[in-house]
Structure 1
Amino acid sequence: MPLNEETKHSQEMSNFDEGKHEGKVTKVLTFTVASAVIGSSLQFGYNTGVINAPQQVITDWINESYYDRTNKLLSEDTVDFLWSTTVAIFAIGGMIGSFTAGPMANRLGRKRGLLLNNVLALIGALFMGFSKQANSCEMLIIGRFVIGINCGINTGIVPMFLSEIAPFDLRGGVGVFNQLGVTFGILISQIFGLKDLLGTEDLWALLLGLTAVPAIFQILVLPFCPESPRYLLINKDQPKEAEKALKRLRNLNDVSYDINEMQAEYDNEQKEDKVSVKQLFQMKSLRLPLIISIVMQLSQQLSGINGVLYYSTSIFEDAGIDPDKSAYATLSTGTVMVIMTIVTIPLMDKTGRRTLHLWGLGLMALWASILTVSLATKDLWGSSSYLSIVAVIAFVVAFALGPGSIPWLIVAELFSQGPRGAAISVAFFINWSANFLVGLTFPFLQKSLDAYVFVIFIILLVIFWLFTYKFLPETKNKSFEEISAIFRKEAGKKDEYVSMATTEKPENQI
């Protein structure tokens, strides 16, 4: 009687375990990670934070530019709406970009997709950089939209690229570099956005136009990096090119374990029907990882972090901090986020994704509660403004501990190569949609709820903590195939999306 599928799978995993070797950080791996992170992840972070500090000078310019063209002044509500649109249109572009990232990565490749995406970054930089000179608020909004598309594509491709070039036992740590690039980009934007530097009435357009710098950097360096070996083998069926790329990345002559692991995934994919976004929602074996992926994205964006990143300066001012000092208080949030993201790099593959995410969500809920109390008592207690600063910084620390990086890397880990592109498109579309929702509504919620605006996020954080505790499996030190097997077991079948042509006949059938 032939071996059943589960026995075969167990034997395959046992054979893989025998060939496993401890991954090491090589020069080529470091160079490739840096090229992707500085050119793409930093781009995303820079454009997330750059709009924060110069808020007042840009809103003043919006009114002045309109007056210069029409001899009329805009109402305060109209200016607020245009400002919110300028902030939120970035996320709309991100939604579009993220939804196209998966198909783009599969059609063009991870490396070529990132390279071509820089064209959008340069176009966006030109529109934003010359908007003041053209006296056009429309150019500013269009530029934010285009750079949003660029960043949406980056957020879809970079985590996939990093997870596919990293050794399995370093995958979590390498994946964190995506978030490190984001946080470093936010910090750079906060520094350059200071009124003593580029956050001035005359230079704010240059501040926004500097987004061309990481794009130019990546155009110059990424061509010297190898393509994802997994993409070359599984998507392009080029085993020799995949082996060549692996040898460069691992600095080893024997990469048989990696090749065997990818080959097993490739063999399984040949049995699968092509997975579309529609089928992704229909397949029982993919339903749970898809739900987990979506909730993980929501746990990041609906945690309240974007309220802090987009509007931290105004939060500090509302807490009683002098307006001239609030930008420097905001700078502290970017600094601690970079430091904490660095701290989590070794923790990701030691402590595990699930544990760090639970700690992050729990601490965020705690410090959001303390921030709410401090904002509510600012007129009663003189030192509450300092507690607000501590609470915001601690809130950011908790975010960087897990929710900042884990949702980006977890999606690529939860799915095999076949449905991975579609899953990333769906999950990151949800991420950017939630980003847009918070960016557009937070200033209005802040005006309506005042000190109690973070109560909404506290409730959501508790819900996300409970969901993570119940449903998220630990993925550290597991191959993509081993992780997929967890959900196939949960679904009660080996591969529900395997072609029905392979259906076995009952044993008693002649």
Structure 2
Amino acid sequence: MDSKASNPGPSAAEEKGVPGIQSGPAQGKLTLRLVVAICGAAMGSLQFGYNTGVINAPEARIKEFMNATVMSRDGQEMDVDTQTNLFAVLVAAFAIGGAVGGLLAGLWADYFGRKNGSLINAVIGIGAAALLYFSRMTASYEMIIVGRLVVGFNCGLYTALAPIYLSEIASVNIRGALGVLHQLFVVSGLLISQILGFPEIFGNNQSWHVLLGLTALPCVLQLVVMPFCPETPRYLLITQGRELDARKVLESLRGGGDVGGEIAEMKKEAEQAMGDAKISAIMFVQERSLRMPLIISIVMHLSQQLSGINVIFYYSGNLFKGAGLDESTATHATSGVGAIMVAMTLVTIPLMDRVGRRSLHLIGLGGMIVSSILITVCLSLLDRVEWCNGASVAMALMFVVFFALGPGSIPWLIVAELFSQGARSSAISVSVLVNWVANFCVGYGFPHMQKGLMSFSFLPFTVLLVLFWIFLVMFLPETKGRTIEEISSEWKQDRITGQSFRSESYSVSFKKNTNAI
């Protein structure tokens, strides 16, 4: 579920109208080269979304396959608890691989480049798809677990590579929109996996392995499209020092026109990066000016993963069956989750640079709190009130609506906006690692939590959502319309003056932030 992007942001010159630095009339033009580059990079986002949702529909089929495999080997059936635990391991393996991939993503992107790093990762994804597809033919459920681990690593890299690439080819005026575009392709992949998981398509005893193996398709498409895409201009100039090549790429992406303003800002960032020491993860603990933005970044990602949304993604079929739907209806109802995610993400794209990151995230979390409370109420009344069956499904879908409004996309986007070049890669790696570890905890722990808490299994997520909302109301700044240089300088000023982060410069006192939601 990582926008670990080196997000450029509008330059101070552009914001303040410094003479001699012009952005050029073609800066915001949507050219064919830009569209192709967006589609090539977004295949990684599609891959991540597909593998997040694909395991939901064939759960019963995979458990039957595991049981049949053990029967053929040992001559005895697998008990229900063992099936539940083994499937939880299978689900969680995706998150373990994702955590490793996400942690290495910053180094991977810097060493191989954004473009070549994506192409190499696509080959890894095809290898994972082969493991998943051939598992049935070889009668090995272990291959599914290993395949999910490898495809998790593949997706962990993509959660960084895709947002980085998109943000580094974006002009200032569409930075927020392209940040949400990563999430749009993620949820589109989720919806595709849910539709293909219908019993009449691939979610049946004969074809479930095909459903898992189709994860190769986004990787194949990326291998076809990405060679025609350029390396990002920011990587060429800032990391490799190739200013002429960066200028040529910018001109092709913008459709001509003056790109001097963007080149000037990149050069300024490159000079700053040379002057700034590379920040390691341990330095975040030691450096006061970095500590609070890192804490905010971590809480943002925890508010996404520990919200309970992955319960909907991984286990909504079981959740809907527990609400009284038959298996076929429950499987079809899961596609409503993906459809809502796609629709709401489309709504969010124009809002991101108008309403702002902070407001959308807090509104989304607030709506999720209310929805999760209502889900718990409906589940606890299922045996006594007939209409609660449909209401619990409706509340689960409402939960998804509010998730897609802000928490689904903003944590990926905002980390890169809180840190300057020297600290950005390490901050991104730490945040992505936290995201995937939390993903693992939910994926592995929920079946056991559901068994113990039953109809109250959503209650722990409600409590966590309330805590996250309170913290972010107090400390989350608005980054819309502010340059990265301005934001990072405020963190440094806070270190020098020794003032509390909740200062007038950020307008984040509890009272003011509550009014700003």
TM-score range (shorter-chain normalised) is over 0.9
> What is residue 228 of structure 2 aligned with on the other side?
224
| Separation in structure 1 between the aligned mates of residue 338 and residue 41 of structure 2, nearest angstrom | 21
> What is residue 90 of structure 2 aligned with on the other side?
86
CA distance 1:11–1:343, change in 2 (3 Å): closer
Shift of 1:331: 1.1
Structure 2, unpaired ranges of 5+: 1-10, 499-517
Output the amino acid matched with 2:307.
S
> What is residue 128 of structure 1 aligned with on the other side?
132
1:41-52 alignment runs, 5 A limit: 41-52=45-56
1:492 aligned counterpart, secondary structure: helix
The answer to whether the 8 A contact 1:358-1:465 is kept is yes
| Separation in structure 2 between the aligned mates of residue 196 and residue 400 of structure 1, nearest angstrom | 28
2:279 aligned counterpart, secondary structure: coil
> What is residue 22 of structure 2 aligned with on the other side?
19
Output the amino acid matched with 1:332.
G
> What is residue 180 of structure 1 aligned with on the other side?
184
Shift of 1:387: 0.5
Does 1:416 find its partner at 2:420?
yes
The answer to whether the 8 A contact 2:106-2:425 is kept is yes
Does 1:74 find its partner at 2:84?
no
| Separation in structure 1 between the aligned mates of residue 18 and residue 476 of structure 2, nearest angstrom | 25
Shift of 1:322: 1.7
> What is residue 498 of structure 1 aligned with on the other side?
none
Does 1:466 find its partner at 2:470?
yes
TM-score, length basis structure 2: 0.91
CA distance 1:263–1:225, change in 2 (3 Å): same
Shift of 1:156: 1.6
CA distance 1:476–1:10, change in 2 (3 Å): closer
Once the two structures are superposed, what CA deviation does each residue of 1:151-173 show, in whole Å capped at 9, x if it has no partner? 00001222222222111221111
Shift of 1:325: 0.6
| Separation in structure 2 between the aligned mates of residue 67 and residue 204 of structure 1, nearest angstrom | 20
CA distance 1:287–1:12, change in 2 (3 Å): farther
The answer to whether the 8 A contact 1:16-1:257 is kept is no
- State which drifts further: 382-391 or 66-75: 66-75
> What is residue 511 of structure 2 aligned with on the other side?
none
Selected match of 1:283 from 281, 287, 298? 287
CA distance 1:163–1:372, change in 2 (3 Å): same
Selected match of 1:272 from 272, 276, 280? 276
Output the amino acid matched with 1:216.
V
Selected match of 1:490 from 474, 494, 515? 494
2:29 aligned counterpart, secondary structure: coil
The answer to whether the 8 A contact 2:22-2:258 is kept is no
Amino-acid identity (%): 47
- State which drifts further: 481-490 or 145-154: 481-490
CA distance 1:114–1:208, change in 2 (3 Å): same
| Separation in structure 2 between the aligned mates of residue 53 and residue 433 of structure 1, nearest angstrom | 23
Once the two structures are superposed, what CA deviation does each residue of 1:338-377 show, in whole Å capped at 9, x if it has no partner? 1101110111111111110011000000111111111010
> What is residue 105 of structure 2 aligned with on the other side?
101
Output the amino acid matched with 1:130.
F
> What is residue 6 of structure 2 aligned with on the other side?
none
| Separation in structure 2 between the aligned mates of residue 12 and residue 178 of structure 1, nearest angstrom | 26
Once the two structures are superposed, what CA deviation does each residue of 1:236-267 show, in whole Å capped at 9, x if it has no partner? 11111111111122223311111111111111
| Separation in structure 2 between the aligned mates of residue 289 and residue 161 of structure 1, nearest angstrom | 23
| Separation in structure 1 between the aligned mates of residue 360 and residue 125 of structure 2, nearest angstrom | 33
Shift of 1:11: 7.9
Shift of 1:488: 2.2
Selected match of 1:323 from 321, 327, 349? 327
> What is residue 210 of structure 2 aligned with on the other side?
206
Does 1:65 find its partner at 2:69?
yes
Once the two structures are superposed, what CA deviation does each residue of 1:109-139 show, in whole Å capped at 9, x if it has no partner? 1111111111210110000000000000111
The answer to whether the 8 A contact 2:167-2:179 is kept is yes
Selected match of 1:435 from 429, 435, 439? 439
Output the amino acid matched with 2:38.
V
| Separation in structure 2 between the aligned mates of residue 345 and residue 481 of structure 1, nearest angstrom | 24
> What is residue 156 of structure 1 aligned with on the other side?
160
Shift of 1:414: 1.6
CA distance 1:195–1:452, change in 2 (3 Å): same
Output the amino acid matched with 2:36.
F
Selected match of 1:30 from 15, 27, 35? 35
The answer to whether the 8 A contact 2:340-2:400 is kept is yes
Does 1:245 find its partner at 2:249?
yes
- State which drifts further: 149-158 or 415-424: 415-424
Structure 1, unpaired ranges of 5+: 1-8, 495-510
The answer to whether the 8 A contact 2:14-2:23 is kept is no
| Separation in structure 1 between the aligned mates of residue 296 and residue 73 of structure 2, nearest angstrom | 50
The answer to whether the 8 A contact 1:369-1:455 is kept is yes
Output the amino acid matched with 1:171.
R
Shift of 1:473: 1.4
> What is residue 449 of structure 1 aligned with on the other side?
453
CA distance 1:45–1:11, change in 2 (3 Å): closer
| Separation in structure 1 between the aligned mates of residue 164 and residue 474 of structure 2, nearest angstrom | 26
Output the amino acid matched with 1:290.
L
The answer to whether the 8 A contact 1:94-1:153 is kept is yes
The answer to whether the 8 A contact 2:119-2:226 is kept is yes
CA distance 1:10–1:133, change in 2 (3 Å): closer
- State which drifts further: 181-190 or 241-250: 241-250
- State which drifts further: 297-306 or 231-240: 231-240
Output the amino acid matched with 1:19.
Q
Shift of 1:477: 2.7
1:19 aligned counterpart, secondary structure: coil
Once the two structures are superposed, what CA deviation does each residue of 1:41-63 show, in whole Å capped at 9, x if it has no partner? 11011111000011111101100
> What is residue 376 of structure 1 aligned with on the other side?
380
